[in-house]
């Protein structure tokens, strides 16, 4: 009893105080995009819009009057989300299109459909992504790339380039690529291509989540440099540490025991991570804030420019990645 009394008297107040500091610094300090920007007559594509911050982003854009295209792999989930968005916003211009970023053929088919059916594209939000922990070891895309890197980078790289002409003839001309603070853990990329007849991956060293997120930042930077004259604005961002359903996907994939652990630790994750609404705010800032036009090529966190890793600021590395990505996706660059 004496020990319990001491914990209640001394330890608990200290933990509460420490959490108060943490909450104030990392959660309460999150900025929200509060501008009343109206998007009537504008068209936006959000990849991975059927859950998480993609869903919140699509909902916000629909509220502003945009025609929002949910580009998703799971059509049923996407249709359900589209129905909910239409119901809550009164905006009937919310449509679903199939896009599997792990397949270059799917990316090409999606882009062709958009080009044939849409007369404009003002904003492209490269939001979709997969985590290595949610995949089986050695998983590859249909094109023989590491599944995580192929989906997170090569898929979005091809998608953006195929839609570039449509973007450039529209009003806002913005490409927003969701990266992660995890890019800071990535080593310098080894972009050596292997013989597909003898290697597991075409690019065996491009194979993890931090590298894919570094590639996102480098891609956004190089796109901005290449399109400076056209007026296209390209940015990348860290959305924050978010409590989303992806955590359940990760632990359930690993083992039933970890699935139980997810439910055990959910209250703690809820306390330490920001919610999906807060996580979508930097995406919205990059997509809609007028001031961002002055920061094309930059990386953002918490609705403000933020300095990325040293590798992420390497222009020569960005150019090399662009060349490799053109070769990998079959683009003529």
What does the pLDDT look like over 155-175, one tens digit per residue?
999 999 999 999 999 989 999
* pLDDT for the residue numbered 261: 54
Backbone angles phi, psi at 235, to 5 degrees: -135, 165
Residue 69's contacts (CB-CB under 8 Å, 6 or more residues apart) are 43, 44, 45, 46, 95, 96, 97, 114, 118
Cα 260 to Cα 252: distance, rounded to the nearest angstrom: 8
39-43, 105-109, 191-195: which range is least confident on average? Answer: 191-195
Residue 32 annotated as catalytic: no
**Residue 63: pLDDT above 90?**
yes
H or E stretch covering 322 = helix 315-329
pLDDT at 263: 59
| Catalytic residue (one of 23, 209, 262, 306) | 209
Instruction: List, for residues 17-36, the tens digit of each pLDDT value.
Output: 665 665 556 666 788 899 99
Q: Look at residues 45, 69, 57, 82 and name the one whose alpha carbon lies nearest to residue 159.
A: 45
Give the domains, in start order, of the chain with CATH numbers.
39-239+280-329 (3.40.50.720), 242-279 (no CATH)
The beta strand positions in the chain, using DSSP E, are 43-47, 67-72, 94-98, 123-126, 174-178, 233-238, 299-301, 304-305
Give pLDDT, residue 242: 75
173's torsion region: left (phi>0), alpha (psi -120 to 50) or beta?
A: left
The residues with which 97 forms a beta bridge, in sequence order, are: 71
The answer, as to whether pTM is greater than 0.85, is: yes
Measured distance CA(91)–CA(58) in Å, rounded = 11
Tokens of 68: 């929002």
DSSP category for residue 26:
I
Reading phi first (left if > 0) and then psi (alpha if -120 to 50, else beta), residue 75 is in alpha
């Amino acid at each position: 009893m004496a020990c319990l009394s001491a914990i209640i008297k001394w330890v608990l107040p200290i933990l509460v105080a420490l959490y108060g500091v943490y909450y104030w610094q990392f959660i309460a300090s999150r900025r929200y995009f509060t501008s009343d920007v109206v998007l009537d007559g504008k068209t936006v594509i959000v990849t991975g819009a059927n859950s998480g911050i993609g869903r919140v982003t699509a909902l916000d854009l629909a509220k502003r009057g945009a025609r929002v295209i949910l580009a998703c792999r799971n059509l049923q989930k996407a249709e359900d989300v589209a129905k909910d968005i239409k119901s809550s916003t009164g905006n009937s211009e919310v449509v679903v299109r199939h896009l599997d970023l792990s397949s270059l053929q799917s990316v090409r088919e999606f882009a062709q459909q958009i080009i044939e059916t849409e007369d404009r594209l003002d904003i492209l939000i490269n939001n979709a992504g997969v985590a290595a922990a949610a995949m089986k070891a050695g998983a590859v895309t249909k094109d023989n790339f590491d599944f995580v890197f192929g989906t997170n980078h090569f898929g979005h790289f091809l998608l953006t380039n195929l839609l570039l002409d449509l973007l450039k003839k529209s009003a806002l001309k913005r490409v927003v690529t969701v990266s992660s603070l995890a890019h800071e853990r990535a080593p310098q990329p080894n972009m050596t291509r292997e013989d597909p007849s003898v290697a597991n991956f075409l690019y065996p060293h491009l194979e993890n989540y931090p590298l894919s997120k570094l590639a996102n930042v480098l891609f956004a930077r190089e796109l901005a440099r290449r399109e400076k004259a056209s007026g296209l604005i390209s940015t990348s961002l860290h959305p924050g540490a978010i409590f989303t359903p992806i955590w359940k996907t990760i632990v359930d994939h690993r083992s039933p025991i970890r699935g139980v652990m997810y439910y055990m630790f959910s209250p703690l994750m809820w306390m330490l991570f920001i919610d999906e609404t807060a996580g979508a705010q930097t995406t919205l800032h990059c997509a809609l804030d007028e001031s961002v036009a002055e920061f094309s090529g930059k990386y953002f966190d918490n609705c403000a420019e933020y300095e990325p890793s040293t590798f992420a600021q390497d222009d020569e590395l960005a150019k090399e990645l662009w060349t490799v990505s053109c070769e990998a996706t079959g683009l003529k660059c």
